[in-house]
Chains A and B, each alone.
Chain A
Amino acid sequence: MSASGALPETVEQLSATARQIRQDVLRMTYRAGSGHLGGSLSTADLLVALVFHELRIDPGNPGWPDRDRLVLSKGHAAPALYSALARRGFLDAQVLPTLREEGSPLQGQVDHRTLPAVEASTGSSGQGLGMAVGMALDARLAKRPSRVYAVVGDGECRAGTTWEALMAGGQYALDNLVVLVDRNGRETDGGKENAPGIEPLAEKFRAFRYSTLEIDGHDFPAILGALGQARKTKGQPTAIIARTVLGQGVSFMENQPAWRERSPNREETERGLAELGGSL
């Protein structure tokens, strides 16, 4: 786990970075014995696209007021964000193995108090999205160019607070706000199929006045294209519904609900890392 801070610009480089981050996530959750592996792997490509391409951020000046903000509303995908921030140069990669340990800055849910590079402490459904709406309003009022990106889980899309926050984003026509839905179709207790009631998701977003795009959340050209389109959209916020696969990148974890919560044992970790071109 070495932090380079380099900014890969090509799709190949982004893919390679995503593989590194998936390796980190496997190692971290193996070591910690817990840590929402499946949902971290499904979100990894979205986070890589944001942290290594889309966001105007500077590891040398993390508090830059005009920076773009990333709020991980699905705070349990913390391992993926920690790894991305480390590899982008916002924190020391040496700390990654301390995930979920007492005294570690790497709390189980992303934490602003212990890790200022994280924009907001989240973990309760819908709250990160509400905070992102507040940040987008703040930037608009201050006439700052900052854009705000909220990554939400599809399980969160059942929570009333998510829809409150979405309504506010639409009401204030926040075109500096982009909501990315990690649509892996697996809620904690769901398991079998996409949870009923959430669909039709795109229609709901459109009714809430969002420019709404549906993409494959593991296809970098598609992700970058949607983010680019969001940047050009004026007068309304953008929602990107990214269809993803729980456990993406490790064949025996893909679409297996058990991997939402459980952590890999040593053998599984080694096997998964081998698939990703890494090792323990």
Chain B
Amino acid sequence: MLARTSGSLGEAYGQALAELGERDPALVVLDSDLPGSARAGPFGQRFPERFLRIGVMEPTMMSIASGLALGGRTVFVSGFAVFVAGEAYGAVRLSVCYNRANVKIVATHAGLLVGGDGAPYQMLEDIALMRSLPGMTVVVPGDAPTTRAATFAVASFDGPAYLRLTRENLPIVTDGSFTLGRATRLREGSDLTVVAVGAMLARALDVAEELHQAGVEARVLDFASIKPADEKALIQAARDTGAILTMEEHNVLTGLGNLVASAISTTHPVPVRQVGVPDLFGESGNPWTLLDHYGLSQKRALDEAWELLKIRGKVS
């Protein structure tokens, strides 16, 4: 693994939110949990009158957010992924999306990396749920700089958005030059493309580095902008490299891998292998060991990469 500094996605979000609150005096933040957990604290300290601690009622928090937004405000709502995307799904669907309310949902604690609290708190289906909603924008940042950029990006348009964050600090692997609807090329290569989101982004770069040591050059795409999706970049990758490996900390049936395979299938189908959580619930454990245990290890991804290269006849 490459040596890198790490950063907190939640803190990057909290800092960006406080700056947004400075710029937009109408911006309101709703939080379902303690500010320490959901990271909206800095905003709350600076603008207490615009920081509403709604408490543990995520479905109604979405409806309240919609009511606030329909008056013309930008409203940020933060809470645990399993509650804001799962528990509150019906309200996100009708109150927020169907009403086209300008509500930005920031989900902290997504995925297996929740660790100790286990399956009830390890949200692995939220990309699927949120991506299926008409009009919803979905962003899965892979590090703190992208989280910061994505927070500003979703605040810049009128409409609902879902930002999926990880509790664990993640290695800083981007310069934060995030654009909605655009995949970012983090590494050039023509033998294979690795498309990754969230905590798997740094692992994707590690896989590419290991392949490089073996004489194989992999392109790495940061696909943080899940919706709108950069289908052009995927088709280009299929054309240029002939094989795609996807990496995500999400149920593999309904997430990034699925999106990628579907996007290229009409225009330029090539073999796609998907590294993700099998169709299972998580469990308690050490966050990073859990990733390995559920098939998201660097070694597993590397094995899949070699399989793809064999299929394409690039190695024997």
Do residues B99 and A120 form an inter-chain contact, with CB atoms below 8 A?
yes
Which residues of chain B are near A127, meaning CB under 8 Å?
59, 63, 90-91, 94-95
* Other-chain residue from B49, B70, B94, B100 in contact with A135 (beta carbon distance below 8 A): B70
- Identify which of A10-18, A97-105, A164-172 touches chain B: A164-172
Considering only CB atoms and an 8 Å cut-off, how many residues of chain A contact the other chain?
A: 33
* Other-chain residue from B26, B28, B49, B64 in contact with A131 (beta carbon distance below 8 A): B64
State how many angstroms separate the Cβ of A164 from the closest Cβ of chain B: 4
Do residues A130 and B91 form an inter-chain contact, with CB atoms below 8 A?
yes
Tell me whether B119 is interfacial, beta carbon within 8 Å.
Answer: no
Which residues of chain A are near B70, meaning CB under 8 Å?
112, 119-120, 131, 134-135, 138
Which residues of chain B are near A133, meaning CB under 8 Å?
60, 63-64, 67
Which residues between 147 and 171 of chain A lie within 8 Å of chain B, taking CB atoms?
Answer: 160-161, 164-165, 167-168
Which residues of chain A are near B66, meaning CB under 8 Å?
120, 130-131, 134
- Complex Cα–Cα for A124 and B72 (A): 23
Tell me whether B224 is interfacial, beta carbon within 8 Å.
Answer: no
Tell me whether B34 is interfacial, beta carbon within 8 Å.
Answer: no
Do residues A168 and B28 form an inter-chain contact, with CB atoms below 8 A?
no
Do residues A121 and B98 form an inter-chain contact, with CB atoms below 8 A?
yes
Do residues A138 and B71 form an inter-chain contact, with CB atoms below 8 A?
yes
Tell me whether B239 is interfacial, beta carbon within 8 Å.
Answer: no
Which residues of chain B are near A165, meaning CB under 8 Å?
60, 63-64
- Complex Cα–Cα for A71 and B71 (A): 13
Do residues A126 and B60 form an inter-chain contact, with CB atoms below 8 A?
yes
State how many angstroms separate the Cβ of B71 from the closest Cβ of chain A: 4
State how many angstroms separate the Cβ of A220 from the closest Cβ of chain B: 29
Do residues A161 and B99 form an inter-chain contact, with CB atoms below 8 A?
no
Do residues A126 and B63 form an inter-chain contact, with CB atoms below 8 A?
yes
Closest to B59 in A: A161
Tell me whether B312 is interfacial, beta carbon within 8 Å.
Answer: no
Tell me whether A139 is interfacial, beta carbon within 8 Å.
Answer: yes
State how many angstroms separate the Cβ of A239 from the closest Cβ of chain B: 17
State how many angstroms separate the Cβ of B21 from the closest Cβ of chain A: 13
Given known contacts A133-B64, A161-B63, what 19 new A-B pairs fall within 8 Å (CB)? Answer: A113-B100, A120-B67, A123-B94, A124-B94, A126-B63, A130-B60, A130-B64, A131-B63, A135-B67, A138-B67, A138-B68, A138-B70, A138-B71, A141-B28, A161-B91, A165-B63, A167-B57, A168-B54, A168-B60
What are 11 A-to-B residue pairs whose CB atoms are below 8 Å? A112-B70, A112-B99, A119-B70, A120-B70, A130-B60, A130-B64, A131-B66, A138-B67, A138-B70, A161-B91, A164-B60
Interface residues of A (CB under 8 A from B): 65, 71, 112-113, 119-124, 126-139, 141-142, 160-161, 164-165, 167-168, 172
